[in-house]
Amino acid sequence: MEFVKEFATFLYQNDAIKFGNFKLSSGKDSPYYIDLRIVPSFPHQFRKMVKTLQSLISEKIGLDNFDSIASVPTSGLVIASALAIETVKPLIYIRQKPKDYGTENVIEGKIADGSRVLLVDDVGTTGLSLLNAVKALRASKMVVTDAFIIINRFEGARELLASENVRLYEITDRFLSKLKTNRFNLKPKNGLQN
């Protein structure tokens, strides 16, 4: 919980949480937007986030229960890359659609058929991009049973993935409800905070 409060303060202080009218990658409209793309610009906070994610994975499924890490571009891929380095696991990523040049791959990287793949992304909303990644991985003869995200918006991602027998875990629990009611006791913004 200590990391979550610190992380909420960091995101708030650095304008990574915005209120207004936003179109999400899911196509849904939202009164708020969480931009985790700024986190790697703050290496100390980014490292804490990745280490917290690694600890959660170790606690929930164990670091020996997956062979490689996968993500979808772009924000989740940065997190997955850092996690792959920390856990010394191979990394692959899944394109939303095959590229129309070169090898025309949907999955970039190389791992063996039957590999147990851990799926990582930044923010979960409806879960559709994660589900598409699960389907692409399974179509390529890989095993996917678990996905980890940093923030869950609680708009159906867990239920959608559960329908495909994939468990979804997140670092933050009811992050937005705590933020909206200021249960983190956030101080007024005063510039960049690393």
pLDDT for 49-95, tens place per residue?
999 999 999 999 999 999 999 998 888 999 999 999 999 999 999 98
Name beta bridge partners: 92: 70
Structural domains counted in the chain: 1
Residues 104-163: tens digit of each pLDDT: 788 999 999 999 999 999 999 999 999 999 999 999 999 999 999 999 988 899 999 999
| Within-domain flag for 145 | yes
Q: Which residue has the higher pLDDT, 102 or 24?
A: 24
DSSP letter (8 states) at residue 187: P
Residues in the chain: 194
> What is the reported pLDDT for 167?
98
For the domain that residue 141 is a member of, what is the CATH number?
Answer: 3.40.50.2020
Domain that residue 161 falls in: 40-173
Q: What is the pTM of this model?
A: 0.89
10 domain-assigned? no
Instruction: Report the phi/psi class of residue 138: left, alpha or beta, with left for phi > 0 and alpha for psi in -120 to 50.
Output: alpha
